[in-house]
Amino acid sequence: MHDLKAIRDNPDAFDAGLARRGLAPRAGEILALDREARKYTQVLNELQTRRNAASKAIGQAKAKSDEAEAKRLMAEVESIKGQLPAAEAEQKRYLEQLNALLAELPNLPAPDVPDGADEAANVELRRWGEPKEIAGAKEHFEIGEALGQMDFETAAAMSGARFVLLKGQLARLERALANFMLDLHTGAFGYEEVVPPLLVRDGAVFGTGQLPKFALDLFGTNKTQVFSDSTSRSTESKRSEAESKTEVQVRESVTAVLKSDLWLIPTAEVPLTNIVREKILDADDLPLRFTAWTPCFRSEAGAAGKDTRGMIRLHQFSKVELVSVTTPETSDEEHERMTECAEEALKRLGLPFRTMVLCAGDMGFSARKTYDIEVWLPGQGRYREISSCSNCGDFQARRMKARFRAKGDKQTRCVHTLNGSGLAVGRTLVAILENYQQPDGSVVVPEALVPYMGGVERIEKT
C-alpha cells in the first residue's frame, strides 16, 4: 500500500514511479477521491460538533425553563441525526474507492533499479563458477525418468498436469536439500526456523500483495464441513448411534454447516511476513529473520505455456523461504545480506550461477528492488531463476499495519520487509541432476549433501 501523504506532497514523483513500471499516471485520480473523502470527513466533523453543541444547549435551556428554545434545539439535533447517515455513506463510498485503487497499484521502484520493460533489460551483477559444458547433456526430466524415480504420468493421473511424483533417492534428495538449506540458514546465518500454516485468510495474502490483484494465481478453498448434533461425543459413540438410524435420520441429525474460505500459500513469504501483522515492534529487536521449508501452491505456473515438461513450473513445489523484518535505515544492507545467504547455498553445492538486478518492468508487485539468482542448467544450456530476493520497503507493512518504535520515540514507523528463496528446492534438485549427470545415467551427489543422504554418493537407476 502506498503512503497517501507522500502522494499528496509529490504527485509527480508518484506518477513517475508508475511510469517506470509501464503504468499510466494515477495520482490525479487518487487525489480526487482523497479530496472527496476528506470533504465528507469534514462535513461529518462539523455535523457532530453542531449536534454536541445543540445537545449541551438543550440542557441549559431546560435549566432556564426556556421550553421554546429547548424544543428548537431538539429539532435541530434530530435534523442533524438525519443528515449523518448520508454523509457517512458518501465518506465510506469514496474511501472504499480510494483504498481499492491504492490496493491494486504496485510498489514503486527504488531509484537505483534499472529502467526497462521486461527481462531483456535486467542487469547482470556477478557470476560464480564456470558453466559446465557436458557433451550430450540431458534435461532433468530425461534423467529422472531414466532413473525410474521421477514420474509425471502417475502424478497427472492423480492431479492433472504440472505435478510430479518423486520416489526413492530422488525423494530423499529433495528432503536432503531442504534440511541442508535449513541448517545453513539457521546455523550459519541466524535465521529462526518456523513451521507456519499452509492455509491463510484473506488478510494475510492481502498483506503481502497477492490479493486482490492476483487472486486467479492462487489456489483457494471453499469446503463445506458437516457436523452432527453429537459433535461432543466420541467417534465410537457417533458410529454406533449412526448405525442404529436410517440414512434419512442420520441426515436429519445434521445441524451445523461450516464454510471455510482459505488460501493455500503461494510461498512461505505470506505466513512468515504476517508474523508481524498489526504489531508494534521494538526497534532494538530488529532485524527479525525467519526461515521455513514449505510446499507452495500456484495456479499460474503454466499460464504462459512455458516449461510444460519437467519440474521448472509446477502447481505444487517446495521452497526454503527467507524473510527479514527490519528498519528503513538497514533494509538495503539486509537485502544484500539475504542475497548472499542464498548465493552461499549454491556455492556449497558447487552449482554455477549469476546474480541479476531486475529492471523496473520485470519486478514483482510488492518489490521495490529485486535480485534474481539464476543457476546454470547444462541440459537447457542456459541460466534459470532459482532464487528471487526482494526488498519491499514499507509497502507490505502498510498493508499489514506492521510498525516499530525506537527507544525514546513517541511516534511509530512502518517496518521494512524483505523476502527471498533460500532456495527453491525443486529447482535446486533440477540443477543437481543436470550439473552432476554422468554418462552412465547416474547422478553424483554433491559433497555437501552426502551426510543428508545417509552416505549415498551416487544416485543410480532402481
Q: Could you tell me which residues are annotated as the binding site for ATP?
A: 298-300, 385-388
Cell numbers 553424483 label which residue? 444
| Burial (CB count <10 Å: 0-12, 13-18, 19+), residue 2 | buried
Q: CA-CA distance, 260 to 263, in Å (whole number)?
A: 10
CA 414 to chain CA centroid, nearest Å: 18
Please identify which of the residues 88, 340, 344, 385 carries the catalytic annotation.
Answer: 385
Please identify which of the residues 162, 298, 337, 398 carries the catalytic annotation.
Answer: 298
Q: Is position 313 annotated as part of the catalytic site?
A: yes
Q: Is position 233 annotated as part of the catalytic site?
A: no
Q: Is position 413 annotated as part of the catalytic site?
A: no
Q: Tell how strand 353-357 and strand 150-151 pair up.
A: unpaired
Q: CA-CA distance, 385 to 431, in Å (whole number)?
A: 11
Cell numbers standing for residue 90: 458518501
Annotation: binding site: 267-269, 298-300, 321, 385-388, 419, 421
Q: Is position 232 annotated as part of the catalytic site?
A: no
Amino acid in the structure at residue 35: R
Q: Is position 251 annotated as part of the catalytic site?
A: no
Please identify which of the residues 20, 51, 399, 427 carries the catalytic annotation.
Answer: 427
Half-sphere exposure of residue 380: CA atoms within 13 angstroms, side-chain side = 18
Cell numbers 442420520 label which residue? 250
Please identify which of the residues 313, 337, 368, 398 carries the catalytic annotation.
Answer: 313
Please identify which of the residues 388, 399, 403, 434 carries the catalytic annotation.
Answer: 388
Q: Give strand ranges (E) for 269-415.
A: 280-282, 288-297, 316-326, 353-357, 369-377, 382-391, 403-405, 413-414
* Residue 338, CA distances (Å) to 48, 353, 366, 435 in order: 51, 16, 17, 25
Annotation: binding site for L-serine: 267-269, 298, 321, 419, 421
Residues annotated as part of the active site: 298, 313, 385, 388, 427
